[in-house]
Structure 1
Amino acid sequence: MKSEIKVLLVDDEPHIVQFLQLGLENEGFEVKTASEGMSAVTIAKDFQPHIVILDIMMPGIDGFEVCRMLKKNGLQASVIMLTAKDEVDDRVKGLTLGADDYVIKPFSFEELLARMNARLRNQFPNMFGEVVYGPFKLDDRRREILFQNQVLVLSPTEYELLKYMILNHGIVLSKGMILDKVWGYSFQGEENIVEVYVRALRDKLKDKEHQLIRTIRGSGYRLDLP
């Protein structure tokens, strides 16, 4: 199935491009590359990728402008931005322009792959049937999550939160990241809402010992699969 998924990789650092292209092709993706922004926009028109991995700091037009142009041209791809910057303003700017996720350099290939798969399943659910992750079975077309073969009764927000955590299992998710992806970057409420919903999910999963959804002190939450 991955051979059907097209990835456009945009970065001006040859060693990063070579490393990621080799890894992604070994995972079965069809990959095209660009080393600067205008080439990326041109390639995207013909290639029509499902996902764009886009560096922010590039010569000529930067990744923010490339993202804006891609979205303006109607590209339906998910956009994951690579950046050495960990500033909130940059994250908000990218999300406002249509980016779907951020990966901060340096990063592991496994983390990027997990985020890619999460974005693909979210944006192109019809390419996926039921997907099994340990004791979880996720069917986004039916908007159902089964745990140990039992359908969980979830509110829409609980569903989105648990789906986000399952698709990013093993990755520490900060409250800010969760708010961006589940509630939206324009959410003006308190971060404590995340704690309330995590507590509700733990109750429904009978996770009294926090063995599934772990609290990483000072960092956020991580869903671990048995």
Structure 2
Amino acid sequence: MRILVVEDERRLARAIGHGLEDHGFTVELAHDGETGLWKAREQDYDCVVLDLMLPVLSGEQVCRQLRADGCWVPILILTARGGAEAEAGGLDFGADDYLRKPFSYRVLIARLNALLRRTAPARPVDLVVGDLVLDPARRSVRRGTTPIELTRREFSLLEYLMRKAGSTCSKAEILDHVWGANFDREPNVVEVYVGYLRRKIDQPFGTGSIRTVRGHGYLIGDDDPGRVESIDG
């Protein structure tokens, strides 16, 4: 099981990491909210252990953004705050459980195991466009019988386009839904990632399912090479 620990107190983060590794978990660390959010978006984890009081982005901001992105990885909040009100607040913004500092490793391990044992939600329906199949539950993609490896961001972009199959999605809409409303990079990042996707899901198969609609955005549909207007943007 892969666990992401987002904790700005480096000594505590290392101690938590060593304690979890001693119990068989694979652990990665982040020491601020921005880095933690990036790691959680780009890689697959079985659970995120998230401190509330973080630099750059707070734990609450990280949690809210992940949920807004459609990332439902279990999140265990760590905080020095006490009381039922604080605990309810953590659960209200999308966390799955709450653990107050100081805590014992025995309790931390028990809480993590309980989260990981919880019944999974109903399995989402596969998204299908022609012979391109995206499985939201397994986070897998295949063209016919050939599996395709995508990064988390590439997967999120493809999932969004496939959910809107046949409709044109503007760059602004894609940025809001895939990168988040607070994303402050240039819109051309969408073109870059569309290019990445085309090189993985279309070019190796001689297809052109992602189309550029000049002046409007992108759409995905059944392969129609004659309608592909751009291979890079």
2:112 maps to what in 1? 116
Q: Distance in 1 between matches of 2:6 and 2:119?
A: 20
RMSD: 1.5
Of the two, which has the highest radius of gyration? 2
Corresponding letter in the other structure for 2:45: P
1:60 maps onto 2:56 in alignment = yes
Q: Assess, with a 3 A threshold, how the Cα gap between structure 1 residues 106 and 49 changes in structure 2: closer, same or farther.
A: same
1:47 maps onto 2:43 in alignment = yes
How far is the alpha carbon of 1:105 from its aligned partner? 0.4
1:28 maps onto 2:19 in alignment = no
How far is the alpha carbon of 1:123 from its aligned partner? 4.7
Task: Report how many aligned residue pairs link the two structures.
Answer: 121
How far is the alpha carbon of 1:62 from its aligned partner? 1.0
Corresponding letter in the other structure for 1:94: G
Kept in 2, the 8 Å contact 1:50–1:76? The answer is no
How far is the alpha carbon of 1:59 from its aligned partner? 1.6
How far is the alpha carbon of 1:93 from its aligned partner? 1.6
Which runs of 5 or more residues in structure 1 are unaligned?
126-226
2:74 maps to what in 1? 78
How far is the alpha carbon of 1:82 from its aligned partner? 0.4
Matches within 5 A, 1:102-181: 102-124=98-120
How far is the alpha carbon of 1:66 from its aligned partner? 0.8
How far is the alpha carbon of 1:19 from its aligned partner? 0.5
Q: Distance in 1 between matches of 2:120 and 2:84?
A: 28
Corresponding letter in the other structure for 1:27: H
Which runs of 5 or more residues in structure 2 are unaligned?
122-233
Q: Which runs of 4+ in 1 moved over 3 A?
A: none
Q: Distance in 2 between matches of 1:71 and 1:29?
A: 24
* Deviations, residues 8-27 of structure 1 (Å, cap 9, x unaligned): 10000011111011111121
Kept in 2, the 8 Å contact 1:48–1:75? The answer is no
Q: Distance in 1 between matches of 2:99 and 2:119?
A: 18
